[in-house]
Amino acid sequence: MGHMETSLFEQCGYSREAIQARLERNWYEMFEGPDKIYWENDEGLGYVMDTGNHDVRTEGMSYAMMIAVQYGRKDVFDKLWGWVMKYMFMTEGLHQGYFVWSVDPSGVPNADGPAPDGEEYFAMDLFLASARWGDGEGVYEYSRHVRSILHTCVHQGEDGEGYPMWNPENHLIKFIPETEWTDPSYHLPHFYEVFAELPFALTRYRVFNLPISMASGALVALEYGVYLMLFRYRGVSFLSPRGVIHMISELVGGVLIAGVMSWYLYRAIAATGALDRFASGRALRDDADRRG
């Protein structure tokens, strides 16, 4: 797990030792202890068991991969992803390019279709793994598989066979590809935070000022602007007048609203003392006291 930067738990009063001990206990209970849910087969690949149904599901596998990448456990991450690609990935048929949502621990499929929350999390898991460890080869070329998963989710069925996971008209993710209703738990706007946190990560979470806030707002706007161009305004070129105006408007709005306005709102709230339990709030108050 390595060096731990200041976390929200620490800002709420927990010691680093207590946080580290809890993290280690959680990992042990899920992946190593007598009541663990993680297992490895004779091939050295790993899976997590759905203990209520005695099967392996894309939901659980993708969550376990998220835990592994957050803990920095590339060994476990690769074993999980290797199992997914060997036993869950569909290479033919109506759902080619998706993942079977339920598989027996022996590797025998229990279903013939996907559940979109698994694909969403697989994509984010691989994004984070590529950023943290870089790409390997074959199955472990993480970024290539991200692109493949998302391309399939968006474009499946354009050649007349299969279905996309996002409705191309209203852009809502479906419960399963061949239906036209959704599930609120499948909507994951919190993944946008990954894009917003990049400026803070680059400064190792030690700098929080107006320029950093503006950069964060710009990145969120850039991500959302590109998303709209790819899914809502399909057919509009990025270099066309409409595309250029759209992206400029998104970036200006992101810098001014998400960046500048949120920074001064934060300062106003901090001035009341409401953020004193957080390090950033205390630092701002201390700075104001020194100047006052």
Note the pLDDT tens digit of each residue in 244-259: 999 999 999 989 988 8
Q: Which residue carries 């280690």 as its tokens?
A: 24
Listed range (127-141, 146-160, 170-184) with the worst mean pLDDT: 170-184
Q: Between 53 and 173, whose confidence is greater?
A: 53
DSSP string computed for 49-84: -BTTTTBEEHHHHHHHHHHHHHHT-HHHHHHHHHHH
Looking at residue 102, what is its pLDDT? 96
Looking at residue 142, what is its pLDDT? 92
88-139 tens-digit pLDDT: 999 999 999 999 999 999 999 999 999 988 998 998 899 889 989 999 999 9
Q: With 60 as the cut, is the pLDDT of residue 4 above it?
A: no
Residue ranges of domains in the chain: 37-187, 198-291
* Strand, helix or coil for residue 245: helix
**Residues constituting the chain:** 292
Q: What is the pTM of this model?
A: 0.65
Average pLDDT, the chain: 85
Looking at residue 204, what is its pLDDT? 60
129-144 tens-digit pLDDT: 998 999 999 999 998 9
Residue 255, CA distances (Å) to 197, 221, 224, 226 in order: 14, 8, 13, 16
Q: With 70 as the cut, is the pLDDT of residue 206 above it?
A: no
The reply to whether CATH 3.40.50.10860 applies to domain 37-187 is no
d(CA 138, CA 171) in angstroms, rounded, equals 31
The pLDDT-based confidence of 1 (bands split at 50, 70, 90) is: very low
12-57 tens-digit pLDDT: 889 989 999 999 999 999 999 999 999 999 999 999 999 999 999 9
The pLDDT-based confidence of 224 (bands split at 50, 70, 90) is: confident
Neighbours of 270 (CB within 10 A): 20
Share of the chain above pLDDT 70, in %: 86
d(CA 2, CA 71) in angstroms, rounded, equals 9
Q: Which residue carries 């690949």 as its tokens?
A: 45
Q: With 50 as the cut, is the pLDDT of residue 2 above it?
A: no
